[in-house]
Chains A and B, each alone.
Chain A
Amino acid sequence: MKISYKWLLELTGLDLPVHELADRLTNCGTAVEEIEATDRYMDKVVVGYVTDINSIKGADKIKLATVDIGSDKLDLVCGAPNVAVGQKVPVALLGAKLAGDFVIKKAKIRGVESCGMICSERELGISDDHSGIMVFDSDATIGTPLADYLDFHDYQLAFELTPNRPDSMSAIGIARDAAALVSMAVHKPDFELVESSEKASDYISVKIDDPDACPRYAARIIKNIKIGQSPWWIKKKLLTSGIRPINNIVDITNYVLLETGHPLHAFDYDRFDSTEVVVRRATEGEKFTTLDDQEHSLIPDVLLITNGKHGVAAAGVMGGLDSEVEDSTTNILLESAYFNPSMIRKSRKHLGFVTESSTRFEKGADPNGALFAINRAASLMHELCGGEVLDGIIDCYPEQIKPKTISFRPARCNAILGTKLTTKRMKEILSNLELEVTGEEKLTVTVPTFRPDLEREIDLIEEVARMEGWGNIPDAISNVGPLFTPTYKQDVFVDEVRTILTGVGFDEMVNHGLVDSRFAKKVNPDLPYVQIVNPSSSDLDAMRNSMSLTALNVIGHNISHRNTDLRLFEIGKVYQPPDAHHDWNEEQRIVLTVTGNTTNGWRQSPRPFDFYDLTGAIERLAAHFRWPELQYVPKTTNHLESGVSFQIRAGDTTVGSIGQVSMSIARLADIKQMVYMAEFTTEPLQEVGASLPFFKSLPQFPAAPRDLAIVVAVDVPAGDLVKTVRNAAGSLAEKVDIFDLYMGKQIEKGKKSIAVTITYRSAERSLSGDEVDVVQQNVMADLKKKFNAEIRDK
């Protein structure tokens, strides 16, 4: 909502610089978002008088106007259709900066020099009107700076109002806050209403069929008005609020809406076609044409103002085309009603648009403000349109809505705010807001109906905080709460995973988890996923059921930006919809992926990333968290290449999968290079890793390392060899390490050589060479027997 700064000064009697007023309002919750000077595009613009107009050779759309600006006569090229000799017009001189930051310079158009411009309202930042140039009254003084002539040295304050404050949706409402801050009262407009002797009730009656939806409907008749332009002082305020002036009657209803916050509607009484207003719900399928010439098919959720025969207005939202005020209108039926907020919300939802009026009714207008508004508008129609206001208001208000009373404990207020305000101060604050306060220890506060948001004690405490200012509430210096703050185990785990994986060169991804369901179905055809009912775009219509989906998208994105060497991980959630066995499930997982080559450097040449880069990183995690030995068991998985696809197992529990992403799946994400990916759940691993590493005495006797080169068929798993070595070597073998893998010319085709170091050590004595030899023989014998291994003792 936008309101004129000067209007607020008028209503409050304050004399504050604009920024100070804006700051004060913002700090009491009536936030000013933007301040714009209304005359910001009027510097070097003056009133000019068109003395002559000549055509320009070869141009039919533009003319050459000679304009007297007092100090000079200028020849200006003008393309406006309405320019004419004898007009007083706004003239932008050289150097003037107009709307859109357009600066006037000397220009040659069709060989004619032009030293300025005659302006439209849009060019002057007054409105969006660009249909022609602005034309002033003939008494305008030539050469007067425009903003002086228009008396338009003002500011437009744009407010960002919170949804709970319908009372602040008007100039008076905002002025009330501004005045209350300095313990003053708002100056409501003073007016005298002159009524004629003719009775309004002879012209109109009101009947409300649904008093819940329409608790109050007041009407007045104003006869013999003359439609015309509004005076400039009204137009100025409307324009500053961003409302386009139309004619005096419509402008007055809009003006009073801005001033009081109460929406009004003016019908052309002669086209109303009845002497009866009936407020009722629309019937299913009932047709109604709003004044923007749109036909609507209604439902009972729309509240309709009718003339007893058919709809004349969608209550609180928009009037009808048939009874709209026109240039020929002479008699007015003026409506000032109060509609139920949720009724209006339903109505406008069905109609599909919001208006200034619907917004106010929806948030909550003041049922007891209806008469002030209708009288104010009627008096203006008398004053500005020559209307005759008929005697009496037809006020249909079956059940009066009374102000609420709330009890308020000053001690509670101080306890909540952490302040030591006196009861007197609290009473003052509440009274300044036009609340009625009685009592001492416990106050009774009567809340006027323009504050529907104030219902409980806490609402009043908020008013005290707001008006006292948060800045005046002390900042506590002690810190209250429990004595001890435990750390959250899960977060510690995640942080450690992050530290370790970044330490071995993996970059962390964060994905939001929304994916394309078509992609999800291709990657994991049998895995159910959580479907979004109203996705913001069709490619984000499912929650990921596997971390690999988002990881592949990230790899695809990076490769398309020529980042082809990647080591990435993410710790995140996958989501599963409920089924017969489970409720909604969110499972934390880790995904690790590598593709491309290792870094090139002066000490190391690049090599392709592979499977072992993943298992190496996982082993680093396993060592840190003391996981039991993980096993990678061959198992075909849809998204992994067969033969390079494994399950990750911790003991008997399958925790995830690892392998090379199948090329057909990778291609779905525009990836044409080999990608290795591991994905595993963390929960079972967090549990098994809990035991502490208890201290073992340091070895006292020397170790006896022995190397073996074992030549076996290529398909013999190295892990099996190590296991056999361990078993055969028994308790004397402290550890068995693989230190070489060789396949190539030196050995037979179809075979590989795996070299191991067996570290023999006893806790009780130094081992003799012979003793170790015996064990070593057993090891070799077992390897030969089990794997037909050829052993090369080193």
Chain B
Amino acid sequence: MSVLDDISVLSENAFERISQADSLDALNDVRVHYLGKKGEITVILKGLGKLPVDERKQIGAAANKARKSIEKRIKEKQESFGDEKPAIVIDSTLPGTAQPLGHVHILNQVMGDICRTFHGMGFEIAHGPDIEADYYNFEALNFPPDHPARDMQDTLFVKGDRLLRTHTTPVQVREIEKRKPPIKIITPGRCFRNEAISTRAHVAFHQVDGFLVDEDVSMSDLKGVLVAFCKAFFGEDVKLNFRPSFFPFTEPSAEVDVSCILCGGKGCQLCKYSGWLEILGCGMIDPNVLDKAGIDSEKYTGYAFGLGVERIAMLKYKIDDIRLFFNNDVRFLSQFK
């Protein structure tokens, strides 16, 4: 019997065994028997090289044809079993393939939230230098020459007649000098104070200041903007309380409390049972500040406000130690996703 006949017998037998296979396992046995590494068809195909050229072609073609038809029958049979047993076992409880995951620093997350909220209300963002001249940090902002903040005990001074800014309000002056009203800007950034480091205080902190200078700007506009911000930031139900206060660069001035974000004003540990959390300072820009920056304070008025980013982050995320922000311990960083 020629090899060609063998192939045709092999095919017939294979077809028969495929049709009789009653499970995927049985079918797989058939596949291995004919098409596996040492399968009968495979052996023929492997042996082709030893044959003379004309036989090689003929037998090769027949063997390949047989392989294909067996594969086809196996596939058809396999489909007839349906989904009886999936080929791949998925353990859905295994964690997914790990993808790298870094974390934006919580201070920048909060700063970003604040800035986006104000940007949504039409505030542009401006920055200024951390190493600032006395003029912008104090003098232009109406601080009298002997104001305690100008003391070495409160402010860090730098060799060469500069200081590390104690607030980001100097940027307000720099921008007012550069522009023409209407000017509506927030100035996020880092500030420094000569302070002993503790759980509640640090040499550095972050602030977002904001201001608007235009005709007919009133305290009512200021209140409206701050109410809108606090509702967007802390939720629609938040209440605000404005307490008159004093800052050299605004008049009238106020400090703003929001109803406690934890207890809603009923009183809890976070708000020290007062129901309120002090959140920002604000006021109408003092006419002296506008005049000094070259704006006619009779024609234009303005409001300004400032809030501490660390304080808001600490309240919102219940962080109890300000030093954690600058330690950059990855166990801290990775908590804020």
Instruction: Report the Cα distance A575→B122, complex, angstroms.
Output: 32
A479 interface residue per 8 A CB criterion: yes
State which size class the interface on B falls in. Answer: 35 or more
B174 interface residue per 8 A CB criterion: no
Given contact pairs A29-B243, A503-B102, A533 touches B157 in the complex (Cβ within 8 A): yes
The chain B residue with its CB closest to the CB of A419 is B220
The chain B residue with its CB closest to the CB of A506 is B102
A-contacting 9-mer, from B12-20, B73-81, B197-205, B260-268: B197-205
The chain B residue with its CB closest to the CB of A504 is B100
| Interface residue from B122, B152, B203 paired with A481 (Cβ < 8 Å) | B122
Given contact pairs A532-B157, A543-B158, A602-B95, A470 touches B329 in the complex (Cβ within 8 A): no
Interface string of A448-463 (1 = CB under 8 A from B): 0000000010110110
B223 interface residue per 8 A CB criterion: yes
Instruction: Report the Cα distance A521→B266, complex, angstroms.
Output: 54
Cβ-defined contact, B220 with A474, below 8 A: yes
- B57 → chain A, closest Cβ, in Å? 24
| Interface residue from A462, A470, A586 paired with B251 (Cβ < 8 Å) | A462
Cβ-defined contact, A416 with B158, below 8 A: no
Q: Which residues of B contact A603 (CB under 8 A)?
A: 97-98
Cβ-defined contact, B204 with A514, below 8 A: yes
B212 interface residue per 8 A CB criterion: yes
| Interface residue from B97, B123, B221 paired with A418 (Cβ < 8 Å) | B221
B241 interface residue per 8 A CB criterion: yes
Cβ-defined contact, B156 with A532, below 8 A: yes
Cβ-defined contact, A465 with B160, below 8 A: no
A26 interface residue per 8 A CB criterion: yes
The chain A residue with its CB closest to the CB of B123 is A485
Cβ-defined contact, A498 with B104, below 8 A: yes
Cβ-defined contact, B197 with A459, below 8 A: no
State which size class the interface on A falls in. Answer: 35 or more
Cβ-defined contact, A558 with B227, below 8 A: no
Cβ-defined contact, A416 with B219, below 8 A: yes
Cβ-defined contact, B301 with A534, below 8 A: no
Within 8 A of B (CB), among A591-605: 599, 601-604
B328 interface residue per 8 A CB criterion: yes
Given contact pairs A491-B115, A558-B328, A540 touches B203 in the complex (Cβ within 8 A): yes
A407 interface residue per 8 A CB criterion: no
Interface string of A475-493 (1 = CB under 8 A from B): 1111111100111101100
Q: Which residues of A contact B301 (CB under 8 A)?
A: 415-416
B232 interface residue per 8 A CB criterion: no
A495 interface residue per 8 A CB criterion: yes
Cβ-defined contact, B326 with A508, below 8 A: no
Cβ-defined contact, B158 with A417, below 8 A: no
Q: Which residues of B contact A586 (CB under 8 A)?
A: 129-131
A501 interface residue per 8 A CB criterion: yes
The chain A residue with its CB closest to the CB of B248 is A164
Within 8 A of A (CB), among B226-259: 227-228, 241-246, 251-254
Instruction: Report the Cα distance A573→B328, complex, angstroms.
Output: 17
Cβ-defined contact, B131 with A479, below 8 A: no
- B225 → chain A, closest Cβ, in Å? 7
Tally the A-B contacts, defined by beta carbons under 8 Å.
248
- B281 → chain A, closest Cβ, in Å? 11
Cβ-defined contact, B98 with A599, below 8 A: yes
Cβ-defined contact, A563 with B331, below 8 A: yes
Cβ-defined contact, A476 with B162, below 8 A: no
Given contact pairs A513-B204, A534-B194, A561-B331, A418 touches B218 in the complex (Cβ within 8 A): yes
| Interface residue from B157, B160, B227 paired with A578 (Cβ < 8 Å) | B160
The chain B residue with its CB closest to the CB of A560 is B329
The chain B residue with its CB closest to the CB of A531 is B159
A-contacting 9-mer, from B31-39, B46-54, B58-66, B105-113: B105-113
Q: Which residues of B contact A476 (CB under 8 A)?
A: 218, 220-221, 223-225
Cβ-defined contact, B146 with A471, below 8 A: no
Instruction: Report the Cα distance A479→B229, complex, angstroms.
Output: 12
Q: Which residues of A contact B152 (CB under 8 A)?
A: 533-534
A231 interface residue per 8 A CB criterion: no
Given contact pairs A27-B243, A342-B146, A456 touches B287 in the complex (Cβ within 8 A): yes
Cβ-defined contact, B218 with A415, below 8 A: yes
Q: Which residues of A contact B195 (CB under 8 A)?
A: 536
Cβ-defined contact, B243 with A470, below 8 A: yes
The chain A residue with its CB closest to the CB of B216 is A415
A502 interface residue per 8 A CB criterion: yes
B139 interface residue per 8 A CB criterion: no
Instruction: Report the Cα distance A466→B255, complex, angstroms.
Output: 12
Cβ-defined contact, A465 with B252, below 8 A: yes
Instruction: Report the Cα distance A477→B224, complex, angstroms.
Output: 6
A194 interface residue per 8 A CB criterion: no
Instruction: Report the Cα distance A470→B95, complex, angstroms.
Output: 55
B196 interface residue per 8 A CB criterion: yes
A40 interface residue per 8 A CB criterion: no
Interface string of A315-354 (1 = CB under 8 A from B): 0000000000000000000000000001001000000000
- A593 → chain B, closest Cβ, in Å? 11
B89 interface residue per 8 A CB criterion: no
Instruction: Report the Cα distance A666→B220, complex, angstroms.
Output: 56
- A576 → chain B, closest Cβ, in Å? 10
Cβ-defined contact, B329 with A563, below 8 A: yes
Q: Which residues of B contact A345 (CB under 8 A)?
A: 146
The chain B residue with its CB closest to the CB of A163 is B246
The chain B residue with its CB closest to the CB of A566 is B330
Q: Which residues of A contact B329 (CB under 8 A)?
A: 557-558, 561, 563
Cβ-defined contact, A509 with B328, below 8 A: yes
Within 8 A of A (CB), among B84-129: 94-95, 97-98, 100-105, 107-108, 112, 115, 119, 121-127, 129
Cβ-defined contact, A508 with B105, below 8 A: yes
Cβ-defined contact, A557 with B95, below 8 A: no
Within 8 A of B (CB), among A406-448: 415-419
Given contact pairs A486-B124, A557-B327, A558-B330, A502 touches B102 in the complex (Cβ within 8 A): yes
Cβ-defined contact, A482 with B131, below 8 A: no
Instruction: Report the Cα distance A537→B198, complex, angstroms.
Output: 13
B334 interface residue per 8 A CB criterion: yes
- B316 → chain A, closest Cβ, in Å? 17
Interface string of B255-288 (1 = CB under 8 A from A): 0000000000000000000000000000010110
- A320 → chain B, closest Cβ, in Å? 26
Interface string of A280-322 (1 = CB under 8 A from B): 0000000000000000000000000000000000000000000
A162 interface residue per 8 A CB criterion: yes
| Interface residue from A459, A488, A505 paired with B126 (Cβ < 8 Å) | A488
A535 interface residue per 8 A CB criterion: yes
Instruction: Report the Cα distance A512→B158, complex, angstroms.
Output: 15
Instruction: Report the Cα distance A480→B300, complex, angstroms.
Output: 13
Instruction: Report the Cα distance A533→B214, complex, angstroms.
Output: 40
Q: Which residues of B contact A630 (CB under 8 A)?
A: none
- A660 → chain B, closest Cβ, in Å? 21
A-B complex: 6 closest residue pairs judged by Cβ atoms: A418-B220, A505-B100, A418-B218, A29-B244, A512-B204, A470-B242
Could you list 9 further interchain pairs (A-B, Cβ under 8 angstroms) beyond the known A479-B122, A479-B224, A537-B196?
A: A470-B244, A473-B220, A474-B223, A482-B184, A488-B127, A534-B157, A557-B329, A561-B329, A563-B329
Q: Which residues of B come within 8 Å of A, CB atoms? A: 94-95, 97-98, 100-105, 107-108, 112, 115, 119, 121-127, 129-131, 146, 148, 152, 156-160, 162, 164, 182-184, 190, 192, 194-197, 202-204, 212, 214, 216-221, 223-225, 227-228, 241-246, 251-254, 284, 286-287, 301, 325-331, 333-334
Q: Which residues of A come within 8 Å of B, CB atoms? A: 26-29, 31, 162-165, 342, 345, 415-419, 456, 458-459, 461-462, 465-466, 470-471, 473-482, 485-488, 490-491, 495, 498-499, 501-514, 530-537, 540, 543, 554, 557-558, 561, 563, 566-569, 573, 575, 577-578, 584, 586, 599, 601-604
Report 27 cross-chain contacts, Cβ distance below 8 Å, ordered by A residue: A164-B246, A419-B220, A456-B287, A458-B252, A459-B251, A462-B244, A465-B219, A473-B242, A475-B220, A479-B224, A480-B212, A480-B221, A482-B183, A485-B124, A487-B119, A487-B125, A488-B125, A488-B127, A503-B100, A513-B190, A514-B203, A535-B156, A536-B195, A554-B328, A567-B102, A568-B330, A601-B97
